[in-house]
Copies of this chain bind each other. A is one copy, B any other.
């Protein structure tokens, strides 16, 4: 028992180290800088070790994405729980989402911009991704408006936030009116 268990624990710890290091490196210098060589050097193992944990770079991105999804779901729930009233909850939800994207650009990219080999919007979508969507839905369902499917409403709202997040960060939208855009979006989309 003990020997094998210890090995498995160590292996799991190393896997977490890989994911954490990849995330770190990506936030520091962007995903392009996350090469298998650099990553291997940082965890102080050789490259092939990475491939004994993950099929390839794509799967490492996927692992970071799942970690990020869980974090985002937590952040969204924590933020909305502290807000009073449907409208305030939606505003804080949107702000928290955009804030997460801005503070964790590499993680956000792993989740929604890069190919992490994860299934979306299907039965076999990993739980953390489903749950992050659910976290959005919990707050948005109460402002979807009559006769509007909450899931579809959440999809639209999410897409809008995603558009704002990505275009702003890429410098394709001016940074200055960010708050005004957020409020306009909430005012128009949410039925309070």
Q: Please encode chain A, from 148 to 192, with 1 for each CB lying within 8 Å of some chain B CB and 0 for all others.
A: 110011011011111110110011111001001100110011000
When the two chains form the complex, which single residue of B149, B177, B189 contacts A189, counting CB atoms closer than 8 Å?
B189
Closest beta carbon of chain B to A136's beta carbon, Å: 13
Pairwise interchain contact A120-B160, C-beta atoms closer than 8 A? no
Closest beta carbon of chain B to A185's beta carbon, Å: 5
Any B CB within 8 A of the CB of A3: no
Any B CB within 8 A of the CB of A45: no
* Cα of A21 to Cα of B121 in the assembled complex, Å: 35
Closest beta carbon of chain B to A65's beta carbon, Å: 11
From A112, A148, A163, name the one whose CB has the most chain B CB atoms within 10 angstroms. A163
Pairwise interchain contact B156-A159, C-beta atoms closer than 8 A? no
Closest beta carbon of chain B to A26's beta carbon, Å: 16
Closest beta carbon of chain B to A180's beta carbon, Å: 6
* Cα of A189 to Cα of B181 in the assembled complex, Å: 12
* Cα of A166 to Cα of B158 in the assembled complex, Å: 12
Pairwise interchain contact A159-B163, C-beta atoms closer than 8 A? yes
Closest beta carbon of chain B to A85's beta carbon, Å: 20
* Cα of A153 to Cα of B152 in the assembled complex, Å: 22
Which chain B positions have C-beta within 8 A of A167? 112, 158-159, 162
**With contacts A163-B161, A166-B162 known, is A173 near B155, CB below 8 A?**
yes
When the two chains form the complex, which single residue of B119, B162, B166, B188 contacts A188, counting CB atoms closer than 8 Å?
B188
* Cα of A120 to Cα of B173 in the assembled complex, Å: 7
Residue on B nearest A119 in the bound complex, by CB: B171
Closest 4 CB pairs of A and B: A163-B163, A159-B163, A160-B160, A162-B163
Q: Which residues of A contact B (CB under 8 A)?
A: 112-113, 119-121, 148-149, 152-153, 155-156, 158-164, 166-167, 170-174, 177, 180-181, 184-185, 188-189
